[in-house]
Amino acid sequence: MVRVGIIGATGYVGGELLRILKIHPSVETIHAFSRKEEGRPVSMIHKNLKNLFDEPFEKYSPNKIADSIDLLFTAVPHGTAMEIVPEILEMGINVIDMSADYRLPPEKFEEWYGIKHKPLSSKFTPVYGLPEIYRKEIKKTKTVAVPGCYATGAILATLPLVRNHAVHPQKIVITAISGTSGAGSRPSEFLHHPEVYNNAKPYSVMSHRHIPEIETVLSDVSKEDVKIGFVPILVPMVRGILTVVNVFPLKEQEGNSFLEMYQDYYSQEPFIRLIIEEEKTVDGSMKRKVGGFPYTANVIGTNFCDISLKNDERTSQTAVISAIDNLVKGAAGQAVQCMNIMLNMKETEGLNKLVGAHPW
């Protein structure tokens, strides 16, 4: 059994961590930390947890948690975790950081985030928390940096092709649409309902901070320099990210070689679902397309990433489409998946019963 704590438990990601950890069979105790909400029942902020998690928020104190927590989740803004995490690690507590503070090499972090980075001691090297690539490293580390939500959807969509050097590494064009929860729970004019409803809003075009994450990881996998173009678009939904990646094959495919790369790489991955479009005979006569493409509604509330691909011989390119819940596979669910790996538990524990609803 494991005892966990969450710093930043009042936010959307913190709430999803609480929801998932509450049903995790190997979690013994959960400490939800909040300076501002200390003493208030958690279910007063996260009303979906009423009668499930009514314990009060606690004030975070390093001395208080030294003997009561085995693992700490830090669901905090960038720049905050690096002030907290070093002390926690020295106390012998594992850390899974949900901020951007340890996702990038220090020099890249400073370039893209504009603040001075405070690196960890060399004995606590952070591991990028994408199990589909770094499972072995996650198993051995004390510190995991959970990937960004856009980065998760984009990397998983592109990974098999880049790994097999099947596409041009510097002609990867990514467009992703996301719901409003990705910006967190703090209100802003940009996220104000009248500004979002019936509207689609590109932002951080070719300058989003998840760009270096995607490029760094794909370059590491392929052992060559990967460059991407990335356009995120805010749309009037709350949860979910649909990512479209346009790639350009380096040579003509033989049969369904691209699909076979995905089937081969992801065949043992518990949270990757390939959505395959096929022509099948119905009632012995009529043929129709079945399978289709990923929809965000099918992954909401789950830790799944749905992926499909479509080749276009006319333009010699391939479109790969992925769908994730930005708050689960893009954040809290992936963090719990990493926790399971770090602590030698079954990787799907606490996550395999998170299924989508239909109709939505």
Highest mean pLDDT out of 41-55, 244-258, 288-302 = 41-55
Segment 174-222, tens digit of pLDDT: 999 999 998 877 778 888 888 889 999 999 999 999 999 999 999 999 9
pLDDT, residue 190, reads 84
Tell whether the model's pLDDT for residue 311 goes beyond 80: yes
Q: How far is CA 103 from CA 106, 119, 150, 218, 299, in A?
A: 9, 11, 13, 13, 25
Q: Are 127 and 105 in contact (CB under 8 A)?
A: no
> What is the CB neighbour count within 10 angstroms for residue 231?
16
148/102 Cα distance (integer angstroms): 11
Q: Are 132 and 266 in contact (CB under 8 A)?
A: yes
- Indicate the SS3 state at residue 273: strand
Give residue 67's pLDDT band: very low, low, confident or very high (50, 70, 90). Answer: confident
Domains of the chain in sequence order: 2-125 (3.40.50.720), 150-324 (3.30.360.10)
Q: Are 333 and 146 in contact (CB under 8 A)?
A: no
pLDDT, residue 358, reads 84
- Indicate the SS3 state at residue 87: helix
pLDDT, residue 128, reads 98
Active site residue 338: no
pLDDT, residue 281, reads 67
Instruction: Give first-to-last CA distance, the chain, whole Å.
Output: 35
- Indicate the SS3 state at residue 233: strand
33/6 Cα distance (integer angstroms): 6
327/333 Cα distance (integer angstroms): 7
Segment 246-295, tens digit of pLDDT: 999 998 888 789 999 999 999 999 999 999 877 666 666 656 565 689 99
> What is the CB neighbour count within 10 angstroms for residue 293?
18
Q: Are 308 and 275 in contact (CB under 8 A)?
A: yes
pLDDT, residue 213, reads 98
Given the residues 42, 149, 319, 354, select the one marked as catalytic. 149
Q: Are 147 and 220 in contact (CB under 8 A)?
A: no
Give residue 148's pLDDT band: very low, low, confident or very high (50, 70, 90). Answer: very high
